[in-house]
Amino acid sequence: AAMTSGAARERLDMNEYRERLEARLGKSREMMRVVLNKAKSDPKRVALAEGSNEKMIRAAYQMQEEGIAEPILVGNTTSILRKAEELGLDFDPTIANPRDGEWDHYVDRLYELRKRKGITESEASELIRRDSNYFASIMVEIGDADAMLTGLTHHYPGGLRPPLQVIGTAEDANYAAGVYMMTFKNRVVFCADTTVNLDPDEEVLAEITKHTAELARRFNVEPRAALLSYSNFGSVRNEGTAKPRAAADILQNDPDVDFPVDGEMQADTALVEDILEGTYDFAELDDPANVLIFPNLEAGNIGYKLLQRLGGAEAIGPMLVGMDKPVHVLQRGDEVKDIVNLAATAVVDAQQE
């Protein structure tokens, strides 16, 4: 009898688990649908720097089939076509092969941009022909593509550095940052910075907050931002807690900021309505925050992974904000659906240009 009830309980747990999984995926699908529909209304050219990668080819096929983007696979033409055929994908992809064709103007542009940063003309030529991240970055910089995706086969900083060097930050930005959108059953939060800035000061934190709030609006989410720390509104005062406090101050005094923001505060203060309405009823936030700004890269990177692995959130990202053109650097091991989701986000970004 004990065995039966154990098995029954397990089955019940499994059902409950499945239901929860369904609900959670429902929310993330709903969030992504907003972006996928926007992307389809005006698809843009997305350069896939790792064009010979099988997942990239599958993703390109899906983007083209569904009209989400016009993918450009950067890589060797013969090998891309052979792989597409092996994968049984019946399509005629746009390919840019850095090893053939006339790419002298790409070399010239890279040299122009980087000659005072230590690159010689022959090095620029090598980079264009052999490093597809430089090739794709120039492609976007020159306007032959509207957005770029890379990262599947690279160590994250290695994929990030070429676009930082070539495309750089937007006019109103000095720092790029990586944002993850985490979806739960009835809730969505945007976490930043999870991938770029090791030890941001208050200016960087303030900028990241603004860009993350803008990104939330692309998903039709009205942002409410919290600068996180391990203290609440000055309850512990030191160099660490001072930065998010100062960042909140900068944002609250910025006439361009049109969303509620406060800090520094602990994560539970940011997320639990009773705490915001009770002990800290003076806070600028009346409802729980949905833009969570972490005090440094350790906290941000660890935090979003805990939400994903223990909290059961679905993660979409890392979406790079603050860049002059839409660029996203994937993580090694990301799946086709992650690539397509980020491509859609990049297309929506490119539509605003």
Q: What DSSP designation does 71 have?
A: E
Piece in contact with ligand ACO (CB under 6 A), picked from 79-87, 135-143, 156-164, 244-252: 156-164
Nearer to ligand ACO among residue 76 and residue 169 (C-beta):
169
CB 251 within 8 A of CB 240: no
Give the burial class of 59: count Cβ atoms within 10 A of its Cβ; 0-12 exposed, 13-18 middle, 19 or more buried.
buried
> Is position 301 an interface residue for ligand ACO (rule: CB under 6 A)?
yes
Give the footprint of ligand ACO on residues 304-323 (CB under 6 A).
Answer: 318
Q: In the complex, what is the shortest distance from the CB of residue 101 to ligand ACO, in angstroms, rounded to a whole number?
A: 27
Nearer to ligand ACO among residue 196 and residue 250 (C-beta):
196
Helices (H), 172-296: 202-218, 239-252, 267-271, 273-277
Give the footprint of ligand ACO on residues 166-195 (CB under 6 A).
Answer: 169, 175-176, 195
Rounded Cα–Cα distance for residues 130 and 201 (Å): 36
Residues 6+ apart with CB under 8 A from 160: 151, 176, 195, 196, 320, 329
Q: In the complex, what is the shortest distance from the CB of residue 106 to ligand ACO, in angstroms, rounded to a whole number?
A: 18
In this chain, which of 76, 156, 308, 312 binds ligand ACO, going by CB under 6 A? 156
Give the footprint of ligand ACO on residues 96-135 (CB under 6 A).
Answer: 117
> Is position 161 an interface residue for ligand ACO (rule: CB under 6 A)?
yes
In this chain, which of 81, 89, 164, 336 binds ligand ACO, going by CB under 6 A? 164
Joined together, the tokens standing for residue 262 give 């406060």
Give the footprint of ligand ACO on residues 19-78 (CB under 6 A).
Answer: none
Burial 218-234 (b: 16+ CB within 10 A, else e): bbebebbbbbbbebbbe
In this chain, which of 153, 165, 296, 351 binds ligand ACO, going by CB under 6 A? 165
Q: What DSSP designation does 169 have?
A: B
Helix (H) or strand (E) holding 315: strand 314-321
Q: In the complex, what is the shortest distance from the CB of residue 21 to ligand ACO, in angstroms, rounded to a whole number?
A: 24
Residues 6+ apart with CB under 8 A from 150: 48, 49, 50, 132, 133, 136, 159, 163, 327, 328, 329, 330
Q: Is residue 70 classed as helix, strand or coil in its secondary structure? A: strand
Nearer to ligand ACO among residue 255 and residue 333 (C-beta):
333
In this chain, which of 252, 308, 331, 351 binds ligand ACO, going by CB under 6 A? 331
**Given CA atoms 341, 56, 142, 320 in this order, what sign does their dihedral have?**
positive
Joined together, the tokens standing for residue 231 give 């203290």
Nearer to ligand ACO among residue 88 and residue 333 (C-beta):
333
In this chain, which of 62, 197, 341, 345 binds ligand ACO, going by CB under 6 A? 197
Rounded Cα–Cα distance for residues 104 and 234 (Å): 57
> Is position 290 an interface residue for ligand ACO (rule: CB under 6 A)?
no
Q: In the complex, what is the shortest distance from the CB of residue 285 to ligand ACO, in angstroms, rounded to a whole number?
A: 27
Q: In the complex, what is the shortest distance from the CB of residue 331 to ligand ACO, in angstroms, rounded to a whole number?
A: 4
Rounded Cα–Cα distance for residues 149 and 290 (Å): 26
Nearer to ligand ACO among residue 38 and residue 55 (C-beta):
55
Label the pairing between strands 314-321 and 94-96. Answer: unpaired
Nearer to ligand ACO among residue 98 and residue 318 (C-beta):
318
The binding site for ligand ACO (CB under 6 A) comprises 117, 156-157, 160-161, 164-165, 169, 175-176, 195-198, 301, 318, 331
